[in-house]
Amino acid sequence: MNTMPGFSTGSRSAHRILAAVIATVAWGALGLQLVLALQITIGNGHSALVGLAVYFGFFTILTNLAVAVVCSAGALRGVRSRAYAPSIVGATTAAIVLVGLGYHFLLHALWAPEGAQWLADTALHYAVPIGAVAHWIAYPHSKRLPASAPLGWCVYPIAYFAYVLVRGALLHAYPYPFVDVDKLGYGRVVLNGVGLLVAFVAVGYLVRAIANALARRVTPAAVR
């Protein structure tokens, strides 16, 4: 078996173990949150379709879903999976870190979940983001990411922001208070969006810096 100095078989496998753990936590939390969302929606006299529309309106849900898919691919096939390429893993890592930071500093004080909702909330906003950072550190970085990588990752939050505005214009419902056009107006919401995008870029460059600091030159056979 090919090996490389300072990078043992165990450490090469650690990223896949972490990917499996994160995928399990993310899928479980997403499932729990879906059940809770449908219970609340149906309990308020609305249909399950309305509950699904609300559920998939959150950046938290979509990003955790992306992490779950990417980490599932990594756990099953490792770097052989296109869904587990460095650029994709980096983008999802940056996005889920923004989820954790945004929730902690902007939303955490607005409500106090209990019971099953607390469990789902903690997993989606804290456990998965922290696990994603640990996974990114363990990921087998074989080459440095280009300086343009974090800018390319911005496609996702920009697309989500556009989706939120279109969805809100049609439904007059917004997933987060800082993007509520009906209350804040488009000018303030756009400024909030720009601020969050700047934060995402900053996180993205931090994620890139971690990858580049850990980058190793390895042969394909040495990475599992």
How many other C-beta atoms are found inside a 10 Å radius of the C-beta of residue 80? 12
Hunting for tokens 């697309």 — which residue is that? Answer: 159
Task: Give residue 198's Cα distance to chain centre.
Answer: 17
As a whole number of Å, the end-to-end CA separation of the chain is 11
Q: Which of 169, 159, 156, 142 is nearest to 224 (CA)?
A: 142
**pLDDT at 7 exceeding the cut of 80:** no
Query: What are phi and psi for residue 7, nearest 5 degrees?
Result: -140, 90
Average pLDDT over residues 46-66: 95
Q: Which of 199, 198, 164, 167 is nearest to 178 (CA)?
A: 164
Model pLDDT for residues 70-119, shown as the tens digit of each residue: 999 999 998 899 999 999 999 999 999 999 999 999 998 888 889 999 99
The model's pTM is: 0.90
Percent over 90 (pLDDT), the chain: 83
Q: Mind giving me the DSSP string for 117-168?
A: HHHHHHIIIIIHHHHHHHHHHHS---SPPPTTHHHHHTHHHHHHHHHHHHHH
